[in-house]
Amino acid sequence: MNRVTIPIGPQHPLLKEPLSFLVTLEGERVVDSTLRLGYVHRGIERLCQERTYVQNLHLLERVCGICSHVHTTAYCQGVEALLGIDVPPRGLYLRTLLCELERVHSHLLWLGVLAENIGFQTIFMYAWRDREIALDIMEELSGGRVTHACNVIGGVRIDVEDDQFYSIVSRLYKLEQRVEKFLDLIQHERTFRARTQGIGCLSAQDIQRYCVVGPVARASGVNVDLRRDAAYAAYDRLHVNVALRQEGDVWARTLVRTQETIESLRMAHQLLIGLPEGPTSVRVPRRVPAGEVVSRAEAPRGELVYYIRADGGDRPARVKIRTPTLTALITLHDQLQGVETADISVVLSGVDLCIACADR
């Protein structure tokens, strides 16, 4: 049979961000695929070396348009470790609260994108409507919907007032009930299952070989979650339930992410209830003593790694960022092998692509 190679991207209705896939088809089946990144490469790692530690906060928040807060969390955590300072508990709780709200909005956004790609407009509309609840709360707390500028080196710059507390808790509860409905729908809706079950399978061995992280790994039965395993920020004071599935297909990833959303809402509730009194940040010196540090945090898509090297000045000598999407992209070749053309969109959505993150 004749082989046909079609480009998907850099600009394509299927993709929300630019990346380029060359997919080779034999009839309706995919037999090969090549990936090319770099369409939103901004050279952020290099730019970080030319800016001060404080200026970098604003830059790093813009690595990603979805998980902006976790980037500054990992960065601040690293710089604070180099400085040898402890963030006050209230600051850590608020930082963690934003991390969890961000996970909620990222997972609901993703659920909407997946639903739209399989033609299930109802879930798309509902997921994005309900995501607004999380965005509203974050906007009230920080002033920004997706770029919160909430972290500073030494803590956070936001605080929760008493009158905000009840309003936020009641909205979190409302959102949790809605996400429970999504979970029920995903488990039992026949159309949804038909489009996602058995698609894009990755075994636990594949996950290990490709060093994949986050919900994609957890959907293949690999029990990793840095919130529990590294217990950074305020996670050591929380009970983290890790959502786990064994199937390894797109359906399992959907379930893992939806269960995680519910877990995150519960954790956000726990964090608000247990919010300690006291200051939210401490003052830090501008210069950071020489040293190096590897800082890890669990972004909505999995393990986020920052390597920071300080040489004693007010600018870092090197900042290396490894985002979780990069680990998932490498598996796409295997996942696409042999799938029908109509399922390409499901496979691509299944790993939750964030190309701005991957490109930096």
Using CB under 8 A, pick the residue from 296, 344, 346, 348 that binds another protein: 296
Pick the closer one to another protein by CB: 125 or 290.
290
- Burial string for 119-134 (b: 16+ CB within 10 Å, else e) reads ebeebbebbbebbebb
227 binds another protein (CB under 8 A): no
Using CB under 8 A, pick the residue from 151, 258, 280, 327 that binds another protein: 327
Sketch the per residue contact string, 44 through 83, with another protein: x for CB under 8 A, - otherwise.
Answer: -xx------------------------------xx--xx-
CB of 326 to another protein, least distance (A): 6
305 SS3 class: strand
Sketch the per residue contact string, 4 through 23, with another protein: x for CB under 8 A, - otherwise.
Answer: --------------------
Measured CA to CA in angstroms, residue 207 lies from 103, 231, 350 at distances of 22, 22, 15
178 binds another protein (CB under 8 A): no
Using CB under 8 A, pick the residue from 38, 119, 276, 285 that binds another protein: 38
Number of residues located near another protein, criterion CB under 8 A: 40
Q: Rounded distance, CA 350 to CA 110, Å?
A: 9
Could you give the strand order of the β-sheet that contains 29-36, starting from the edge strand earlier in sequence? 3-8, 20-26, 29-36
282 binds another protein (CB under 8 A): no
Q: Rounded distance, CA 335 to CA 21, Å?
A: 13
Pick the closer one to another protein by CB: 13 or 43.
43
Using CB under 8 A, pick the residue from 17, 32, 159, 229 that binds another protein: 229
CB of 133 to another protein, least distance (A): 34
CB of 243 to another protein, least distance (A): 19
Measured CA to CA in angstroms, residue 343 lies from 51, 107, 125, 249, 352 at distances of 44, 21, 21, 12, 15
- Residue 294 has a CB neighbour count (10 Å cut-off) of 13
220 binds another protein (CB under 8 A): no
Q: Rounded distance, CA 78 to CA 311, Å?
A: 14
Pick the closer one to another protein by CB: 131 or 360.
360
312 binds another protein (CB under 8 A): no
Using CB under 8 A, pick the residue from 11, 121, 177, 208 that binds another protein: 208
Strand 20-26, strand 3-8: pairing: antiparallel
193 binds another protein (CB under 8 A): no
Q: What is 133-196 written as a DSSP string?
A: HHHHHHHHHHS-SS----EETTEES----HHHHHHHHHHHHHHHHHHHHHHHHHHH-HHHHHHH
Pick the closer one to another protein by CB: 130 or 303.
303
Q: Rounded distance, CA 241 to CA 255, Å?
A: 14
Residues of the shown chain interacting with another protein in the complex, contacts defined by CB under 8 A = 36-38, 41, 43, 45-46, 77-78, 81-82, 84, 208-212, 224, 229-230, 232, 291-296, 303, 305, 307, 309, 317-318, 320, 322, 326-327, 329-330, 359
